[in-house]
Amino acid sequence: MPPKTAKKPTNKGLNLIQEDTLLYWIKFLDNTGFSPTKPMVVAYTNEIRRRDQPGIPVLSRKWAARWFKAQ
């Protein structure tokens, strides 16, 4: 049995393009001297997801905490 760390997450909130878009947005804000808050990241992430899949369930602040920890 492979270790749990080798297992791909089944509840990933973003695809690779969405994640790249989010990282670009965060870096853009950071370069302008403005650091986004977790609620801002969640709101932008949900906007990215809604553009691709209208009606998709929203992500929570807990998702953002897990995402930041994984980065």
Distance CA(1)–CA(27), nearest Å, equals 38
The residue extents of the domains of the chain are 13-70
40 has a pLDDT exceeding 90 = yes
7 has a pLDDT exceeding 60 = no
Distance CA(6)–CA(56), nearest Å, equals 28
pTM for the whole structure: 0.77
Would you say 67 and 13 are in contact if contact means Cβ atoms under 8 Å apart? yes
Distance CA(65)–CA(61), nearest Å, equals 6
Calculate the average pLDDT of the chain. Answer: 86
CA distances (Å), 52 to each of 3, 5, 35, 56, in order? 33, 29, 25, 9
Average pLDDT over residues 31-50: 93
1 has a pLDDT exceeding 70 = no
